Amino acid sequence: MAAPSSAAHKPRRKAKKTATYDAIAKPEALVRTPSFPLAAFLWPARGSVSQWEVLPLILMAVGLFRWAAGLWGYSGFQTPPMFGDFEAQRHWMEITTQLPISQWYFHDFQWWGLDYPPLTAYHSWLLGKIGAIIDPTWFELFASRGSHDPTLKIYMRATVIVSEYLIYIPAAVIFVRRYSRLFGVAPWTAWVSLVAILMQPATILIDHVHFQYNTVMLGFVLSSMSSMLAGRHMWAAVFFVAALGFKQMALYYAPAVFSFLLGSCIYPRINVGRFATIAIATAISFAILILPIVLGTLYDASRGIDSQPDLDGPHPPLPIFPQLAEYLDTNAICYPVVEQLVQMVHRVFPFSRGLFEDKVANFWCAINVVIKMRKYPAVLLQRISLAATLAAIAPANFILLIRPRKELLPYAFAATAWGFFMFSYQVHEKSALLPLLPMTILLAGNQGLGKDIRAWVGFANLLGAWTMFPLLSRVDLKVPYAVLTLLWAYLLGLPPTSTSAYFQEGQSAWLQWSTAIVHGAFYLLMIVWHGLAQFVAPPLISLTCGSSRMSESALLASRCVISGVLANWSRKAVYLQET
C-alpha cells in the first residue's frame, strides 16, 4: 500500500481556517448540553433537520412576537396636538400620494414635514397608494391628520412587518449564513444566532411598538455587508446607497463601507477596474435614486405647478449653499431642480437643530451635566463634535483600509457607528439601533454564542433598550418593553435572569472578574433605576437621575464595549500575523 498521502484523506472542505480558530477558542463540538435557554429551545433541531423545516418556524415565531408587540399603542397615540412618529409616517403617505412630487419637500414643515431621503418618500407613496385602496379616508389631504382609526393602525403595523419581511429578514438570513460559513460555524449554531438577532428587543420596540421603518434601512445595510462577504463589491455599494437613500442615519456606517471598499481595491494589490466599477455603480444608483424627483420636478415645472404654492411673491433664496445662486439663473429650466435638491439636502440634514435631543445617552449629553454645552456657539460645537467623531472612528477604519478582512466587518461597522453615536452632532435615542445591529450579528461569527461575545453583545443590547425606556414610557409602553427585554435576556442567559454568561474556564480570572463587575454594576444600576422610576416620584427621577446617570453609564458602557472590540482586534491581529 502506498504511503499515506494527504491527498488520499483529503476532506471535502478545507478545514484550515477552522482549525486555526479552534486553537484560539474552544471547539463547539464538545458542548453536549444547551448552555442557555434559546439553545435549549432549538435543541431538537440539531442533527438531520432540514432548513426548510426550521427556517419557516423561526420566521413565524419571530413574526408573532412582532405582531403581538404591535397590538400595543404607538408613538403619539391619542396625544394631540402633534401626535408622534406614527402620525409622521402616515402624514408622509398622505402628502406623497396627494401632492405633486415637486411639493413633497416643501409642504408644511410645521406638521411633520418630510425630512428623510427620497427612498422613504417613494416607500411612503407606495404604501399610501395601497392603503388608499382599502380606505381612502386614511390619507386624505389635511382631513386625515391625527387619524387614529384602529384599522389604519393595523394597516400601518402590517406595512412595517411586510417591509421588514421583504428586506431586513432575507438580508439577515443570508448574512448569518455567509458570515457563519466564513468561520465554519455549524448550521444549527447559525440558526440560534439568527433567532437571537431577529429577537433583538431594541429593534422590535422601535419599529413595531414605537413605530418606524428602521429595519428597511438596516436591511439594506445588512445586504450590503453580505455582498461584501460574498465579494460582490458593486452590489455592496448599490445596497448601501439604497440604505442611505432610505435614512440618512446610514451615514453612521459610511466610513466603514468606504474603508472596506477602498481597501479591497488596494489590498492585496491595486485593482483599478474594481475601483471604477464601484465608483460608477455608486454614481448610477444615486442618479436612479433622485431621478424620479428630478424628472417630476421638471414635469411639474413644465405644467406650471409651483413647488411652494402657499408662497406669495418670489421664492426665498436657497436655504443652504446660497452661493450657488450666483452661478445660476433663477429662471433657467434647471433651477427648480437645483432648488428641489438643495431643499431636500436641507431637510435631510438639519444642522440648525441642537447638539443632542432631550435624553439621548451620548457623550455630549453626559458631559452636559458638568459643562453646559448649549452656551457655546453652534459652529464651535459642530467642529468639536466633528473632530471627536473622526478621532473615535479613525482607528477602526484605518485597520479596515489597510487590511480589508471580511471577518472584521461587523467589528468595524460597530466601532464606527458607536463613534458616531457617542460623539456626533444631533443624535437621537433611536440611533442606538445602528451600532447595535453590527454588534449583535457578531453572534453568528466565530464563538459568537460563546460566553465572551454573548455577555458583551447582550450587555450592549440591554443597555441600548434601556436608553430607549424614556421614549417608550412616555406613551405607556412599559409592559412590552419589560417583556421583550427580559425575554431576550432570558433566551440568551443574561442578567438579570441568569449569570451563566460569565466565568468560563480557560480565561484569565482578572479579565473575567473585571467584566463581571463592570456589567454587574450596570445591571444593578438599571434595576435600581427602574425601581425608583416606578415607585418614587417619577418626573423627578426621570429628569435628574435619568438623564445624567443613564447617559453617563451608557457612555461608559459603550466605551467598554469599544475597548472590548479593540481587545478582540488585538487577538485577531495576533492571528493575522500567524497566518
Partner 1 sequence: MDSGLPPFFAYFECAMSQIARLVDPAMLRVYNLGYDSWQTVYFQRFTVIVSELVLLYALQMFIDSAHGTSRRAAQAAAISILLSPGLLIIDHIHFQYNGCMYGILIASLVLARHKSGLLVSGLVFAALLCMKHIYAYLAPAYFVFLLRTYCLSPRSIYKIQFFNCVKLGSGISAILGLAFGPFALKGQIPQILSRLFPFSRGLCHAYWAPNVWAMYSFMDRLLITVAPRVGLTVNEEALKSVTRGLVGDTSFAVLPEVTPRMCFALTLLFQAIPLTKLFLRPTWEAFIGAVTLCGYASFLFGWHVHEKAILLVIIPFSLIALRDRRHLSAFRPLAVAGHVSLFPLLYTPAEFPIKTVYTIFWLMLFLVMFDRLAPASNRQRFFLFDRFSTLYIAISIPLIAYCSLVHSVVFGNRYEFMPLMFMSSYSAVGVVGSWLGFMGVYFTS
Please give the residue ranges that form the binding site for partner 1 (CB under 8 A).
44, 53, 56-57, 60-61, 63-64, 67-68, 71, 150-151, 154, 158
Q: Nearest approach, Cβ of 70 to partner 1 (angstroms)?
A: 8
The secondary structure element, H or E, covering residue 404 is none
Asked if residues 197 and 481 have their Cβ atoms less than 8 Å apart, the reply is: no
Buried b vs exposed e over 231-241: b needs ≥16 C-beta within 10 Å? eebbbbbbbbb
Angle CA 157–158–164, to nearest 5 = 95
C-alpha cell at 31: 458542548
Closer residue to partner 1, CB minimum distance, 153 or 210? 153
Asked if residues 524 and 495 have their Cβ atoms less than 8 Å apart, the reply is: no
Closer residue to partner 1, CB minimum distance, 58 or 555? 58
Q: Nearest approach, Cβ of 61 to partner 1 (angstroms)?
A: 6
Closer residue to partner 1, CB minimum distance, 58 or 342? 58
Q: Nearest approach, Cβ of 19 to partner 1 (angstroms)?
A: 34
Q: Quick one: CA torsion of 551, 556, 562, 565, rounded to 10 degrees?
A: -120
Angle CA 391–393–395, to nearest 5 = 85
Closer residue to partner 1, CB minimum distance, 152 or 234? 152
Closer residue to partner 1, CB minimum distance, 121 or 477? 477
Q: Which residues contact 166 (CB under 8 A, 6 or more apart)?
A: none
Q: Residue 48 and residue 367: Cα distance in Å, rounded? A: 55
C-alpha cell at 547: 438623564
Closer residue to partner 1, CB minimum distance, 70 or 404? 70
The 8-class DSSP code of residue 318 comes to: P
Q: Nearest approach, Cβ of 297 to partner 1 (angstroms)?
A: 37
Q: Nearest approach, Cβ of 330 to partner 1 (angstroms)?
A: 51
Q: Is 517 exposed, middle or buried (0-12, 13-18, 19+ CB in 10 A)?
A: exposed
Closer residue to partner 1, CB minimum distance, 135 or 306? 135
Residue type, 399: I
Q: Residue 193 and residue 181: Cα distance in Å, rounded? A: 13
Asked if residues 223 and 229 have their Cβ atoms less than 8 Å apart, the reply is: no
Closer residue to partner 1, CB minimum distance, 436 or 484? 484
Q: Nearest approach, Cβ of 63 to partner 1 (angstroms)?
A: 6
Q: Residue 203 and residue 430: Cα distance in Å, rounded? A: 9
Closer residue to partner 1, CB minimum distance, 61 or 380? 61
Q: Nearest approach, Cβ of 482 to partner 1 (angstroms)?
A: 13
Asked if residues 291 and 454 have their Cβ atoms less than 8 Å apart, the reply is: no
Q: Nearest approach, Cβ of 77 to partner 1 (angstroms)?
A: 14
Q: Nearest approach, Cβ of 112 to partner 1 (angstroms)?
A: 25
